Copies of this chain bind each other. A is one copy, B any other.
Amino acid sequence: MFEFKITSKNNRARTGIFSTPHGELTTPVFAPVGTQATVKTLTPEHLKDINASLVLSNTYHLYLRPGDELVRDMGGLHNFMQWHRPMLTDSGGFQVFSLAQTRKVDEDGVTFKSHIDGSTHRFTPEKSIVIQENLGADIIMAFDECADPNDHAYIKKAMERTHRWAERSLKAKTRLDQALFGIVQGGVDPTLRAESATFIASLDTPGIAIGGLSVGETKQEMHDMLDVVTPLLPENKPRYLMGVGTPEDLINGVLRGVDIFDCVLPTRLARHHSAFVPEGRLNLMNASFSRDERPIDPTCDCYACRTFTRAYVRHLIVAKELLAGTLISIHNLRALIRLMESIRSYIADGSFETRAPELLSQWSNNAKRIKHEG
């Protein structure tokens, strides 16, 4: 279990197969986010239809509601939400630092107040592992401390603590059917990132996560950090870039040797009427689409694009019908999953590095073109 087999390489980019208790994960892969044990507005059937493989869910949210013990007693997350392909849970670390009302960190853990009802709770590395074992995802994360990226002294302290917490997480783990990943931190400091990558790589884990990026740094800083980190990681472990990202970020991440991504962006944008198309982001509420008989993206094979016009989707948005969010979510997720499918085939046939500049300009450069068209 948890063997990672690299099936093709194209410089630092690689395709692989990661074996999990719920099936083989073909990488590079983009994971839709099901924060509260549901990818917002979609059924598991919709997710299968867009060829989703890995789904992420959030430890912090599920611990608070409905409770990890309830999920365990209902047969675990896979049964609870009826997703029988691979799942991943984060450690709760990022949410404690970004969502909880107040928090107090000490060497042992974090005491925080729930963003839902203000009640007081405490996470430690050991507690995070107990919760994640109750939830039962295939891939779980070590508990980490997420520091303010602009506070250098804190970044270093938080990174060192994250290393100690990774060791404690690993020690606390009891289930053999879950892969625990340590998390590389270190802000945007190359020296700290290198130190963190080296330490986390030294732990006996089947995979490695890269945290603390996509939190406000520039694209260049993200690329620089990946350029420091991935060369220091072992080849034979999958690398998971947490909370990333946009289509450009996925292309840039794969170019730098990343295998797993997740992001709420596709579904969050969908609820704000914004659709990924190769030319940029389409705001489907725009009046210019009111009589547009084309699908959201004429090149897309998803249910929404196979079935409905932009005119209909725009009507649903204007009429405040929730089906709009469902349809655009289906499309946006499929767009990223389809992008990953293309990337995998390009890596396999050796053309990914050559095609990357064109792919990047296609996906990052055309917001203007769309505006002119409207």
Contact = CB atoms under 8 A, between A and B. Distances in A.
B312 A40 contact: no
A-B complex: 6 closest residue pairs judged by Cβ atoms: A66-B315, A36-B319, A38-B323, A41-B322, A38-B321, A82-B307
B323 A74 contact: no
A70 B291 contact: yes
Contact of A40 (B66, B70, B309, B323): B323
A291 B73 contact: yes
A interface residue count range (under 10 / 10 to 19 / 20 to 34 / 35 or more): 35 or more
A322 B38 CA distance: 10
Contact of A321 (B36, B309, B314): B36
Interface of A: 36-38, 40-45, 61, 65-66, 70, 73-74, 80-82, 290-291, 293, 303, 307-309, 311-312, 314-316, 318-319, 321-323, 325-327
Nearest to A74: B311
A27 to B, nearest CB: 28
Question: Which has the most chain B C-beta neighbours within 10 Å: A66, A73, A315?
Answer: A315
A323 to B, nearest CB: 5
Given A70-B290, A80-B315, 18 more contacts: A36-B319, A36-B321, A37-B312, A38-B319, A40-B321, A40-B322, A41-B323, A41-B326, A61-B319, A66-B311, A70-B315, A73-B291, A74-B309, A74-B311, A74-B312, A82-B308, A82-B312, A322-B325
